[in-house]
Copies of this chain bind each other. A is one copy, B any other.
Amino acid sequence: MFNVLSQKMMLLKMFFKLENTLTQESSLSITGTVQEDKRSKGGVEIIASNINVVHIADEYPIALKDHGVSFLMDNRHLWLRSKRQFAIMKIRQRTIKAIRDFFDDRGFVLIDSPMFTGNAVEGTTTLFETDYFNRSAYLTQSGQLYQEAAAMAFGKTYCFGPCFRAEKSKTRKHLTEFWMVEPEMAYCDINQNMDIIEEFISYIISDCLKHCSQELEILERDLSKLENISSPFPRISYDDAVKILKDKNRDFKYGSDFGAPDEEAIASEFDKPVMIHSWPHKTKAFYMKRDKTDKYALGVDVLAPEGYGEVVGGGQREDDHDLLVKRIKEHKLPVDAFKWYLDLRKYGSVPHSGFGLGLERTVSWICGIDHIRQTIPFPRTMGRLEP
């Protein structure tokens, strides 16, 4: 809409001598005849026969000059009107559609995981808590456990909705409220899981390239970086990844998780997303299945290229009831809270795997923008709850 308006406004100002009244962001309704005009950017012009001024705007606070980020974020409801933000929102919409189409077209059943959970099974440190009719409820950090129940019912399922993390983190990759898609598949091992992850990511990228060329042009995205994203992706073990860090003389303690600078150093070796598998089991959650050596968890993290960090985390789940109970105890978690989850290993347990892909990090990567806060309409961070 703003495209048409801004182009026409120039023309109309001249024809209707409204220069002094038609301020930026004023609203008009124009009646006229559309005709082809190759000189126009949109390829058409309107020959106006009538013009109705709907609203004369006050002086618009966002000027063409550079504003600080804080000012723009305070005025997010207006900042959204800019061409760049419009392009990002369109790419976000297309990414969401691509994600849903991918799973819908492949026989996955959509099973929305709940937002409220009754148990803080892995500690309350990064959970948002609310009073729920005189008891505590916690906002979901991941729908995975529910997807496992769903996959045991329907074979292949996914959820796609908001997740919440109360992390005291101010990095450019963290939001307190973000969207995540989490598929889960019965009869699927870690290798098949990685096959699906690379097919999925490739699909999203190629779909956006196909449908968002105008938007990517507005963002001046280097398309060659995206055109390169297709199966297969490099697959390296955690130990291989550590070797890369050592070769680069980075200070890294074996057995810890990779920090953002580590991720960047590893990812910079590849021009495609790199899948890191076979993690020392202590780095991963209790529900991860281990490999035959019992040393490594069958988890996989996927790092996007160009320093965009982890976009996918996933793995094969422990499907044996007794081993799972053992793990819960090893992690000092309350077995009682997992009663329903353990049921899934009692009534027809099968090998199964899944993963989660963070929407905003993915959109950030596709758009080639440096801060995740621009990839969601109304971002929520540690210091930001408005507008």
A interface list, Cβ under 8 A from B:
1-2, 25-27, 29, 54-55, 57-58, 60, 75, 77-78, 80-81, 85-86, 89-90, 92-93, 96-97, 100, 104, 109-119, 128-133, 135, 137, 139, 146, 149-150, 152-155, 161-162, 164, 166, 168, 176-177, 179, 186-187, 319, 340-341, 343-344, 346-351, 376-378, 380, 382-383, 385-387
Contact = CB atoms under 8 A, between A and B. Distances in A.
A2 B78 contact: no
A245 to B, nearest CB: 33
What's the number of copies of this chain in the assembled complex?
2
A110 B168 CA distance: 29
B2 A387 contact: no
B109 A90 contact: yes
Contact of A153 (B80, B155, B319): B80
A177 B348 contact: no
Given A54-B348, A75-B340, 16 more contacts: A1-B155, A26-B348, A55-B349, A57-B348, A77-B343, A85-B153, A89-B111, A93-B110, A115-B162, A118-B386, A128-B131, A132-B176, A135-B385, A146-B378, A161-B161, A340-B387
Contacts of A85: 153
Contacts of A2: 153-154
Contacts of A58: 346-347
A383 to B, nearest CB: 8
A149 B383 CA distance: 22
Most buried by B among A131, A179, A377: A377
Given A55-B350, A348-B26, A114 B378 contact: yes
A1 to B, nearest CB: 4
B115 A96 contact: no
Contacts of A57: 346-348
Contacts of A114: 177, 377-378, 380
Nearest to A137: B385
Contacts of A348: 25-27, 54-55, 57
B164 A115 contact: yes
Contact of A130 (B1, B100, B118, B128): B128
Contact of A1 (B97, B110, B154): B154
B86 A153 contact: yes
Q: Give the 7 A-B CB pairs with smallest separation, nearest first.
A: A118-B385, A340-B387, A77-B149, A1-B155, A93-B110, A25-B348, A27-B348
B27 A150 contact: no
Contacts of A81: 152-153
B78 A343 contact: yes
Given A132-B128, A340-B386, A113 B27 contact: no
Given A57-B347, A186-B1, A385-B135, A86 B154 contact: yes
Nearest to A55: B349
A154 B109 CA distance: 32
B130 A377 contact: no
A118 B162 CA distance: 17
Nearest to A384: B118
Most buried by B among A92, A109, A346, A347: A347
A280 B128 CA distance: 40
Given A57-B347, A109-B93, A162-B162, A133 B177 contact: no
Contacts of A75: 340, 343
B377 A111 contact: yes
Contacts of A176: 116, 132
Contact of A168 (B86, B133, B168, B383): B133
Contacts of A350: 27, 54-55
